[in-house]
């Protein structure tokens, strides 16, 4: 893992996006934040179904945008 730090605003814990997520979904929300801009990572242990459900919720809350390309999918964290 790269050195450095990530910053989360305390306001996050009061938002419906946070309060309505399961503990696993919260992990899936925070993990991309800590890995942003550090390239490809391996070792995800979550099931594909959990990932799809979390992806759907985070997109609905406009935390992520989703762009499909001819080779892959680009997820962007929205500030």
Question: pLDDT tens digit string along 23-62?
Answer: 888 888 888 777 665 455 555 565 778 778 888 888 898 8
Give the integer Cα–Cα distance in Å for 65 and 75. 6
What is the predicted pLDDT for the residue at 9?
87
Residue with tokens 């946070």: 18
What is the predicted pLDDT for the residue at 40?
55
Residue with tokens 């080779």: 71
Tens of pLDDT, residue by residue over 1-15, are 557 777 888 998 898
The pTM of this model reads: 0.51
């Amino acid at each position: 893992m790269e050195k450095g730090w990530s910053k989360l605003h305390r306001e996050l814990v009061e938002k419906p996006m946070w309060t309505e997520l399961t503990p696993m979904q919260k992990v899936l929300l925070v993990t991309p934040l800590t890995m942003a801009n550090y390239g490809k990572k391996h070792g995800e242990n979550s099931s594909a179904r959990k990932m799809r459900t979390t992806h759907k919720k985070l997109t609905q809350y406009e935390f992520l945008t989703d762009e499909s390309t001819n080779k892959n999918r680009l997820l962007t964290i929205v500030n």
